[in-house]
Amino acid sequence: MNYYNEIKQQLINNEVYKKVKDISKNRSDLTAYYNVGKLLSEAGKNYGEGIIKKYSQKLTIELGKKYNERTLRRFRQFYNFIDNTKWSPVATKLSWSHFCELLPLKDLNKINYYIYISEEQNLSKRQLRERIKSKEYERLDDKTKAMLIKKEEPKTEDFIKNPILIKNKFNTTDISEKMLKELILENIDNFLSELGARFAYVGNEYKIKIGNSYNYIDLLLYNIRYKCYVVIELKATPLKKEHIGQIQTYMN
């Protein structure tokens, strides 16, 4: 087999197809890059590792700079990922740009987690990059990681991170409850993403009547999946029994 000619034709066909049917661009990209990665893997076994550099030099001259050596190695890495996981490249909602963020991670379990949340929460490439940068996977409970490896369906609470990261604009780590609430409200979208998926913000200092008196909930959220309210009482001290009692009073 002339691997180079086959690789070149796959890339040319993909470029033509994208111009004709832009709506299927993502599927075309992933299929073409998978096929090219497979050919590169086979060529490497037959002709040695240096064949990628040789092909990239020829493709750069004939098809443009975007098919450089780094890109070809990424195609081969994509093929190896698909081949190892038996995962379908045409079944995903993710784009090639997403995979360019994911493949450098190398850990298959970590990649699968970020694929899961990217599809579940419809993350953009930028949002995915931020999640990876925050080491979101590393902050999951070991039980949740095990469930994902076994392809079991986790519950919403399994995706709550530990620790939850909140951007601190204050020049101190001695944070009061008032300061903590301010930081959360200024970055409410980020806070909700730290809790997992399908949480919606309802309000803060939410007024409720208990008996003949009124109380105020620090933060009230709503979970769309379970169709229930989530009460959050903010404390800047270690957890105490009376704190739990306070939450239970609100929920009753």
Question: Quick one: average pLDDT of 171-188?
Answer: 92
Q: Which residue has the tokens 């519950």?
A: 155
pLDDT surpasses 50 at 167:
yes
Lowest mean pLDDT among 21-35, 38-52, 55-69, 229-243: 21-35
How high is the mean pLDDT of the chain?
88
Q: What dihedral angle (degrees, nearest 10) is formed by the CA atoms of 173, 136, 188, 249?
A: -80
Q: Decide which of 107 and 15 is more confident.
A: 107
Q: What is the pLDDT of residue 204?
A: 95
Amino acid at 21: K
Sorting pLDDT into bands at 50, 70 and 90, what band is 72? very high
User: Which residues touch 78 (CB under 8 Å, ≥6 apart)?
Assistant: 30, 33, 34, 37, 89, 99, 103
Give the per-residue pLDDT at 118: 92
Q: 27 CB contacts (<8 Å, ≥6 apart)?
A: 90
- Calculate mean pLDDT across residues 221-250: 88
Q: What tens digit of pLDDT does each residue of 96-113 get?
A: 999 999 999 989 899 999
Phi, psi values for residue 239, rounded to 5°: -65, 135
Q: Is the pLDDT of residue 8 over 60?
A: yes
pLDDT at 210: 86
Give the H or E element holding residue 184: helix 177-186
Note the pLDDT of residue 23.
46
* pLDDT value of position 21: 52
Output the pLDDT for position 17.
64
7-16, 71-80, 201-210, 230-239: the lowest-pLDDT one? 7-16
